[in-house]
Amino acid sequence: GAGVSQTPSNKVTEKGKYVELRCDPISGHTALYWYRQSLGQGPEFLIYFQGTGAADDSGLPNDRFFAVRPEGSVSTLKIQRTERGDSAVYLCASSFAGEGTLHFGNGTRLTVT
Amino acid sequence: KNQVEQSPQSLIILEGKNCTLQCNYTVSPFSNLRWYKQDTGRGPVSLTIMTFSENTKSNGRYTATLDADTKQSSLHITASQLSDSASYICVVSSKRGGGNKLTFGTGTQLKVEL
Nearest CB to A105 within list B43, B91, B105: B43
Q: Over its length of 113 residues, how does chain A's per-residue pLDDT go in tens digits?
A: 579 999 999 999 999 999 999 999 999 999 999 999 998 899 999 999 999 999 889 899 999 999 999 999 999 999 999 999 999 999 999 998 756 789 999 999 999 99
Q: Residues B25, B3: contact at Cβ < 8 Å?
A: yes
On the CB side of A5, CA atoms within 13 Å amount to 8
How far apart are alpha carbons B14 and B18 in whole angstroms?
Answer: 9
Q: How close does chain B come to A76, measured CA to CA in Å?
A: 18
Nearest CB to A106 within list B42, B98, B100: B42
Positions in chain B whose pLDDT score sits under 50:
none
Backbone angles phi, psi at A31, to 5 degrees: -95, 135
pLDDT digits (tens, 9 = 90+) for A7-29: 999 999 999 999 999 999 999 99
At residue B95, the pLDDT reads: 76
**A-interface mutation test, from B35, B48, B102, most A Cβ less than 10 A away:** B102
How far apart are alpha carbons B25 and A48 in whole angstroms?
Answer: 22
C-alpha dihedral, B50 to B68 to A92 to A96, nearest 10° = 50
At residue A43, the pLDDT reads: 93
**Interface contact flag, B99 A50, Cβ < 8 Å:** yes
